[in-house]
Structure 1
Amino acid sequence: MRSWLSILLCFGLALPAKAYHIVGGEMYYDCLGGNEYLITLKLYRDCSGDGAPFDNPLYMAVYNGDGTLFQSLELPFPGSTLIDPDLTNPCMVNPPDVCVEEAIYTRTITLPDNPLGYDIVYQRCCRNSTIVNLIFPEQQGATYTAHIPDPGSICNSSPRFNSFPPVVICAGYPFNFDHAASDPDGDQLVYEFCRPYQGASFDVPAPEIPSPPPFPYVTYTGGYSEGYPLDASPPLVIDSLTGWMEGTPASIGQYVVGVCVKEYRDGVLIGEHYRDFQFNVTDCTPGLYADFPDEYNNCDDYTIFFDNNSFGATTWFWDFGDPSVDNDTSVVMSPSYVYPDTGTYTVMLVAKPYTVCADTAYSIVQIYPGLVANFAYEPQCAGQPLNFSDVSVSTYGYLEQWSWSFGDGTEGTGNTPSHVYEEGGTYEVHLQILNGYGCTKGVEHTVTVWPTPDVDFVWDDACLQSVGTLTEQVFIDSAYTITGLEWTYPDGTGSTGSFGAYYFDTAGAYPVTLVATSNKGCMDSITNQVVVYPKVVADVFRDSTICEGDTIQLFTRNGKYYQWSPNYNISDLLDHDPFVYPDVSTTYTVVISDDCTSDTAQIIIEVLPAPDAVAWNDTAVYRFEPVMLHAAGGVSYSWDPPNYMNDPFSQDPVVMPSETDSYVVTVTAENGCTATDTVSIVVWLRCMRFTIPTAFSPNGDGLNDVFRISSFGDDEVSNYQIYNRWGELVFEAGSIDTAWDGTTDGKKQETGVYIYYITIACEGQQAVYSGNITLLN
């Protein structure tokens, strides 16, 4: 615990040096009688930088209640006074550079009776750019206004606030301020936070005619509002009846706050008075403080060694709180003290004693030795509950907490926990205890958990109607031994030892269980399904017939192993579904077996002879010249490719080939087997068999109207071009089938001689031909 002595207010962070102008203000009025009113405007400005001075003159406007201008006013500068920031605390470290000025403008005016009353308005720009809770604060000015009700019906004087809020408040420290107002008429006052008004602009910072109501409100940044104007925890609040303001500011910065006081007379609202001001929240670092741990617990002996974490002091005074003596004090920085007996003592530390800035802290010391932590346990097998029991000793106070760490990543509580370890081995188990006096002790023991056997078994010769042999495969850590092996068979009988035996009289799955026990009594078991298969019965696919040269796949099943014979044109003698391709009829035998029985089956593959296919004659012909092909040896025929062939299913078809090709004939015998043979035809091309005219007359008489290349061979034209006598291209084509009609782009060409270039290809050779052509219109 800590008490602050003589520290009134402390600051550790200077406020921003540059200010624009306004930091707060309010306007109020007094009814002097005879329709005369004294208007008072209090303004506050930041004078610590180069902000604008107070206005001289200051412009006000008086508006009728309907918003029309009644009167404009000029008020001379009355002079200003500095606001005392009360930074005289001798214990303050680095006081902030703070300067706030107050100017009080007054003017007496006469107001005729007006049922709508009057609004007095003053507007100014701008606020400090460093304000935290407003968006673009340097662009948001301020409006100070007062509404005077109808002078003909009421002579009212408005409330006015008694004092200006503190210039600086401290972040992290509780703040309170009496924000009460006084009312000359004794009216009832009700307080609340409210939203300040904007006013004026950069362009016209001090308008000669301020704007009439209604006035725009300031715009808050996210999270702030009139009810939550600054970061505080607990939030800043104001008592509605007294005006008492309190809260704990949480963040450093400058914040605009608005407070309104409503004026009631005989329960009727007759007016509302408003002011806003700027709170400057700074970091208040104390010049010194006393600090040491809040509590000491000695659970071993009677000596306490004290830590001193104080700041800013070089002299100390300790009182160890021992009532049995008068000299239980010290002036050293970090002393020790031996207490005479068990008990609870209150210790006091004073930093920089006997001075106005001294600070005091307190701590509780508890002396209750005699706490010993220990536990016991009952060894157990993995997978079984292992029980722990606390056997600790607490001479003073009852044990209240037990915290266990079982060494396998899990934890527990209580004085007699139970824990199951999944694996055998050694684990470091830790117990931490706490008694009623706050003493804590811990102890750690190595706990051994016995492993369980790793159990399995295999079997041999599990054959139908025979005795099968079962062999254990049990393992355990070398520090332990297997002392028991117990077999349980499907019929409920059993045996012991490393080997088991059972007579399998029928095919099926037999559940057999083996239980293994170690020398520590740890057990584990396994149940395997021993599968006994029925006797092998060879099952093969039916006999088949193929043609000479064909391949067929043989199919078998119901076995584990396969052996084929003879080794004649077969893909794999040990495969259950091999491929065979015999040239003659063959009987294939397969022996199908498992580990117990075998069976034999045969498949006969009959091989039919293929026809003796013959085709003739290989020859050479000109392109598209007919030639007859011949075939023999079967009852039906099929030729491929069938292109340019009169009948591809004829024994002797006629073909007119366009290019060199081979013709394959498939000959089918009467037994359905086939064979093939090939005839090759070489095709010659007819080259240089074309004519090019020398003249044409495109006059529409149907005779020589176009220029065309005529071919009666195999020549191909890939491109030809025609030019006039000036070398201009007048026609171009890429095919022998395209003719020129004597026009270019639809325009007739004149009579004359033209030059042509023609590219002609044949048998892979290409040549360009040129000459003259005469156009006669």
Structure 2
Amino acid sequence: MSYIRVILVLLCCLLYQAVMASHIAGGEIYYRFLNTANGVSTYQVTLRLFRECTSNGPQLNGEVVNLGIYDNATSQLVRSVNLPLAGAVRTIQLNASRIPCISGDTLVCYQVAEFVNTIVVDNNTAGYTLAWGRCCRVDRLGNLEQGSGVGAMYTTQLPGSALVNDRWNTSPEFNVRDTSLVCAGKSFSLDFGATDADGDSLSYAFTDAYNGGSQSPNGPPPATFTTTPLMYAAGYSGVLPLGPLVVINQVTGVISGFAPGNIGRYVVNVTVTEWRNGVAINRHRKDFVLKVGDCSFIEAVLSPKINCNNLTVNFENESTSSTIQSYRWDFGVPNSQADTSTQPTPTFTYADTGTYNVTLRVAGADGCSATTNTTVRVYPGFNPGFAFNTLCYRNPIQFTDTSNARYGTITARLWNFGDLSTLADTSNLANPTYTYNSIGSRTVVLQVVSSKGCFGTVTKTLNLEDAPFIGLSPDTLMCRLDSLQLAPTLLGANYTVQWQPAQFITNPTSIRPIVFPPADIRYTVQVTEGACIGQASILVRVINNVTLTVNRDTSICSTDSITLFAAGNATSYRWEPANAFSNATVATPKVAPSAPNNTYTVTAAVGRCIATAQMQVTTHPYPLANAGKDSFICSGTSMRLIGAVQANNFTWLPAVGLSNTNSLSPLVAPINSTQYILSAIGNQGCPKTVFDTVTIQVIPPVSAFAGNDTAIVEGQPLQLFATGGETYLWSPATWLNNAAISNPVLRIPVGFDSVRLRVQVSQANGCFASDDIKVVVFNTAPDIFIPTGFTPNAGGRNDVLKAIPVGIQQFTVFSVFNRYGQVVFTTQDASKGWDGNFNGAAQPSGTYVFMAQGVDFIGRLIQKKGTVVLIR
């Protein structure tokens, strides 16, 4: 029996999950006033419910709608009314084929059902709220913290006699235009407008959507009406349901902007406020789940631009469409053909100020295109700014708008005085005054607008004190022969001044008096500005003469620069000749002397007290180093470097291959190409070091080859073949047809058993090498000699079996066979032989068969066959 109970519980859970399955995509409750009599009024109420076509949740024709009617005065349930389904469930779907160049996910499809009934309510003062809750909305809601299992609550209001005392009300009804395509990250426009049968004024706003429904999705309404706003994810809210780039027009209800960049579903709730005679009588809501799809289309989007800085404007298509292949811009200059561009992000400089109509046409594949235009206003010379007259908080501060516009006039301004203690710290006057209540830092902001549409902001920080601002240096210096004007910096103009002591001063109440003390004295100034009083002092030091010291005479290298130093108590300096200095009026100027001997004079002054001094700067030329011309040598030879210097000392680096590093003409014999550096160190009074480099390229050794030693028969001519160079010289040249070529013909007279020849092989660069060849002469006919045996025991004698061709012009083959007829060795090179191994294994002692073949010098085929004995 317990198993049956468990199964029943599981079945109930599964049935409940099916009932609770997510499917709701939006809804709206609206009503129409029918009549009123005997203290009661009759309305026709409709719940319009939306469901995604692809939802796997319950169908709309199975919904049970129990509408709750609540008294606005108590929020208590008055009664529940069932709204039955009226008519068939209909489908609305976007016809994407009518949108050119669209690609990606374009399915926008909803099922719509209306549930309708008549309600009768008592006429009252506060009115009623109509509400219906249901679980659950569709899943994967991108702008909510909880993306699934979220309920919905739809409401509207019946206004009471306190709001509509002249006649009763019919609510607005939102237009059913919910199949607009919204692509992630793309611009869009969605009409969320409504109509009102009474002709009341309507205003629109994004507001919080409500959670609703219970564990019994079609259960009775709760006894008390409460609302629970949805919990939005970071970056979203009821007033920003699609993020900060999407807004709703308060007058038309059109939602527009750039959709979120992430695909998904987004809950959007629009509240339309119904106004009658300036009074809000109803707040009517439509809650809808908007699908943001993964799609793209050709799009051109431009916002109006204004440039108040210069005549150059940067342009960019604000659309993120990925299917655009070409751009065509027209920057709107009348009667011009040179104001166009095909760049994606062009920059255009207008010749004059004005307002221009800019057009952008973009195109994609298959002829798809889009066009838009915008206005661009170009009015440079707009400079926002302001000034103030005091930093003493005890007095009213006069602010002055100093903004100016080259084109147009300043038409509006807004001051924010940065007083955090009040909200009344703003003004739109041109030159307002403001009084702060304490010292401290205040950030003042002025925003200004011109008649051409230029907008600018300027910000300044005011460090408020309880005394007037007095800008006065702490001390100064003067000559006993002079007088001195004291000149403090003050803000504003409404102040009085008093200097103390009143001695040696022309006017102690003057802002800038002249003083003439005979000795050091400290003057104090007191400034009174309304309720603000401040003091500052300055020490006037009096001297009878100027002290001055300069550098000692020095020397530098020609073309170098040097910083001169003057020190003392002077307040001004003047160096001569002035044109020699980068700045002749500073104490430490930089100079680059050009002459060998240079005299510089400095005059130091404090008023009429003057002192002068001189210094000498002698220049010496830099040392000179010449390492010679780059060259080359043949490998294994040496050459002499030829260097030259004008210096106190010198040395060569590196020392490798050098005969003497302290000689200007050392012998070098580098193994590889080398760079030798000649360092010239110091020249008279110039201690600098200079360098010069010579590269010695080593030519690789010449690969002279006269040919392998060979043998001929008596009377046989032999053509030699030397390689490795460009020119050749054989010796002795006696029996050669031409000793100066690489391949001469040798004819050895009868009676010689061998000769040895040497060839010198040279390259074009002059490098050469020599090689010898030995020619053995046999007194026999052309033949190929094969030894009868060999001993491959690494003993150094008779280890390899070779064929010995004599009188053979072309050696074609030498092969050795074992007793099974298997080839154990073969070659076409007479210089190679058999070492007694086959496939890496030593062959056994025994008799082997050989075959050798060649062509003699008169073209006859010479063949030799026989046996050879391998002995181990």
TM-score bin, normalised by smaller chain: 0.3 to 0.5
Question: TM-score, normalized by length of structure 2?
Answer: 0.33
Choose 1 or 2 for highest CA Rg.
1
